[in-house]
């Protein structure tokens, strides 16, 4: 029974919605199984019992109606459907009316990640909530339609641009649970698979105080974690080959050449502008890359941390894969990331 539940049932209940949703889900699934068996076994039995035998010339009875039978197969399903409707409506109301007193967390979805902004102003990219607390999410999207889905909590809601949608839950168990984007939203859709970390109330307070204190003195390390959390890494990879987006290693102090033929030295203000208004200056060779803006997504402190991390990326020795800029010479695209993709013959003049 346990194995059957594991294969066909829902994941373990980790929120108060489980007790409301699961009985109905089990009822509908159970009913579907029972009716499937009735129809399938009935069909097989009738095939055997009433099959045409050799020389069998019996006529059918000619009965077109059986009132009792027709009432039976009309009334029973109607009752079942009314039960499902009433039961489902109860669950729907439970899920769609957030409780008056709840912890409010703002959610910004973007390609490709989540920003969970807490009442105190700090934010995280995984959802962290205290146990046995009603939590309400107010969600909107910065770009396309996403959908926030937490199977263990039995909640799911689309996250739309230009509009707020709401969702609430009350976690009943500590631990880490899967959080998905359930709406295909582009190439790195899968990087929106994150976790919900349900902490005990004391642990949550400790975490909250850590967040309030900020990342300590190490802004560069904070910038590095942001670089991952915000999804920069999905496109601006830090591997040997240039990805779809400009390589961000060893760019500070170099010259960037733009689509309109102008050029500028990469300094802090250029980096700042590129994060907040990515389309202001587009590096030549990357005309078709549509980077999302991070205006309103990152705080001033986070912006500084990111820029400090980009500085760090420019002070590290180049990778040892043999295409070091010094050796290759400037004409061979040692700084390919800034001047265009390495395979673009026009990237260097």
Give the binding site for ligand CUA (CB under 6 A): 109, 146, 181, 183-185, 189, 192
CB 102 → ligand CUA: shortest distance, Å?
24
Q: Select 181 or 245, whichever has its Cβ closest to ligand CUA.
A: 181
Q: Which residue has the tokens 């607390």?
A: 133
Quote helix, strand, coil % in the chain, to nearest 5. Answer: 40, 20, 40
* Adjacency order of strands within the sheet including 123-124: 123-124, 113-117, 103-110, 135-141, 165-169
CB of 290 to ligand CUA, least distance (A): 15
Letter string b/e over residues 57-81, b meaning 16 or more CB atoms within 10 A of that residue's CB? eeeeeeeeeeeeeeeeeeeeeeeee
3-class DSSP assignment, residue 61? coil
Residue indicated by tokens 């994941």 = 11
Of 144 and 221, nearer to ligand CUA (C-beta) is 144
Q: Considering the complex, what minimum distance in angstroms separates the CB of residue 140 from ligand CUA?
A: 13
Question: Is 286 in a helix, a strand, or coil?
Answer: coil
CA 112 centroid distance within chain: 8
Report the nearest approach of ligand CUA to the CB of residue 183 (Å): 5
Cβ nearer to ligand CUA, comparing 148 with 305: 148
Specify the residue for token string 């105080």. 209
Q: Which is nearer to ligand CUA, 105 or 308 (CB)?
A: 105
Report the nearest approach of ligand CUA to the CB of residue 146 (Å): 3
In the bound state with ligand CUA, the residue whose beta carbon lies nearer, of 110 and 204, is 110
């Amino acid at each position: 029974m346990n194995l059957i539940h594991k294969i066909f049932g829902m994941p373990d209940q980790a929120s108060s919605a489980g007790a409301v949703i699961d009985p109905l889900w089990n009822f509908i699934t159970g009913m579907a199984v029972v009716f499937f068996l009735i129809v399938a076994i009935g069909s097989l039995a009738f095939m055997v019992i009433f099959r045409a035998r050799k020389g069998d010339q019996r006529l059918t009875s000619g009965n077109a109606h059986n009132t009792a039978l027709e009432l039976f197969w009309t009334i029973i399903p109607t009752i079942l459907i009314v039960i499902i409707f009433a039961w489902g409506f109860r669950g729907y109301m439970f899920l769609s009316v957030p409780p008056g007193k709840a912890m409010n967390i703002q959610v910004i979805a973007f390609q490709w990640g989540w920003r969970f902004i807490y009442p105190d102003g700090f934010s995280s990219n995984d959802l962290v909530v205290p146990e046995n607390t009603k939590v309400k999410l107010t969600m909107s999207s910065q770009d396309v339609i996403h959908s926030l889905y937490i199977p263990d909590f039995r909640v799911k809601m689309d996250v739309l641009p230009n509009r707020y949608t709401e969702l609430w839950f009350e976690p009943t168990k500590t631990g880490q649970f899967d959080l998905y984007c359930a709406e295909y939203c582009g190439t790195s859709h899968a990087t929106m698979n994150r976790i919900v970390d349900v902490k005990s109330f004391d642990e949550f307070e400790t975490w909250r105080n850590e967040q309030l204190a900020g990342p300590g003195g190490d802004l560069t390390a904070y910038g590095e974690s942001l670089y991952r959390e915000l999804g920069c890494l999905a496109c601006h990879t830090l591997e040997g080959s240039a990805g779809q987006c400009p390589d961000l290693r060893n760019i500070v102090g170099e010259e960037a050449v733009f689509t309109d033929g102008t050029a500028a030295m990469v300094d802090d203000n250029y980096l700042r502008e590129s994060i907040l208004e990515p389309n202001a200056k587009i590096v030549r060779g990357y005309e078709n890359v549509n980077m999302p803006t991070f205006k309103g997504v990152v705080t001033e402190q986070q912006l500084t941390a990111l820029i400090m991390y980009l500085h760090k990326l420019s002070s590290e020795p180049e990778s040892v894969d043999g295409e070091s800029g010094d050796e290759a010479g400037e004409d061979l695209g040692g700084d390919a990331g800034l001047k265009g993709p390495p395979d673009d013959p026009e990237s260097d003049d």
